[in-house]
Structure 1
Amino acid sequence: MDEAWGYIAEWSPELAFAALETLKLTFLSFVVAAILGVPICALRVSEVRGIRYFAASFIEIVRGLPILVLLFLLYFGLPAILPSLRWSSVACAVIGFGLQGGVQLAEIYRAGLGAIDRGEREAALALGLTPLQRLLHVSVPQAFNVSLPPTGNYLVGLLKDTSIASIIAAPELMLRAKDLSSASFMPMPIYIFVALIYFVMSYPLSVALQRAERRMARA
């Protein structure tokens, strides 16, 4: 046991750096997902039936793919068809997680907009607000309150799901743990320590999101 603790002390700087890479991957993927979710949601609630059906089909296809399959398609499959589109493992991970997260957030946004009472929208129009003003000053603030809890849950889940990116050699925490495990033949202490690191990263995020939800509820 003393030997294991000695190794953990030696590996801590490497695992700490890998944890920072995991946080960076999570942040970039979330930004891509949050940005993509807006136009996908707009297409999903379009008044044009064809556009609405196309968006719904796209959401179901992307959401139905396991993230591992999506990463393999981007990292291995796409370059086989178009060699010029050979991206790094980090870029493929950000695009893959961002794309799948985008369709999930689009549905969350849509649910938030759908939760607004129709009478409030009609009252905004009766007051002379333009559709854009109604969207910015009436719909979006209320939809944000409704969408915050599921968006927070998605973010916490994304932090843990980034470990899957180790399959395509993205330099994150789980990949470094696998390398150290193979080199030391001591997988149990390493993976227990890595589990603690994931908890240390995810728990404060969960607490911060819960506090934000309570503040929004009081407001």
Structure 2
Amino acid sequence: MKKALITGANRSIGFEAARQLLKKGYYVYLGSRTLANGQEAVDKLKAEGLTEVEAIALDVTNDESVKNARTELGTKTNVLDVLINNAGISGGFPQTAQTSSIDTFKEVFDTNLYGVVRTTQAFMDLLQQSAEPRIVNVTSGLGSLTMHTDTSWKYFAVKGAIYAPSKAALNMYTITLAYELRDTPFKVNAVDPGYTATEFNHFRGTGTVHDAAARLVKGATLAPDGPTGTFFSDDNNPETGISLW
């Protein structure tokens, strides 16, 4: 049975991704900043008959929490097949380049970029034990330099000065990591779940949590001949959902 770890998985898209992977036969470690919230999410899944799941306390912004999560997971398994770096924050909107505070920049980057780096590095040794390791970094079309310079793009006017750069940096980290692992079985990709109706955007999104999670799961279950170092976004290529950055 393949094993997956999802950060920020106690609700919303991460929770639904856990559900979908469980239905595909994966064992899922559901990462949550607080164990209580994680356990509540696990109980909901088990009530649906999805029993191969357990909660892991994991705050991606806290070195000690990430280390403790790695230690705990190491007592349960010596291999990890999938890591979905889903935890993320927006920093609140509007965000202007002229007035946004450095403190807010630091807060958002600590979760959206440093948290991904922190978690990926901590669990890399377990991923290296997998025959087909997959890393999915949850990004956003708002982090695409290409789309932000296309005046015909439907979200062209949405220019968050903090959130967008945090995701752009995450995309570059993804590309660099994929390049470093290019001669291994790893598939490392950035996946945009789309503008989804969640608490994250006060339910203003137009997409469903189910469809958003399915995009993450697609990246997590790529075949050996699947792409790596790729940016997946249905906003960019509606026919295939795939575009090389």
**Aligning the two structures, in what range does the TM-score lie when normalised by the shorter sequence?**
under 0.3
Higher strand share: 2
TM-score for the superposition, normalised by structure 1: 0.26
Q: Which has the higher contact order (CA 8 A, sep 6+)?
A: 1
Higher helix share: 1
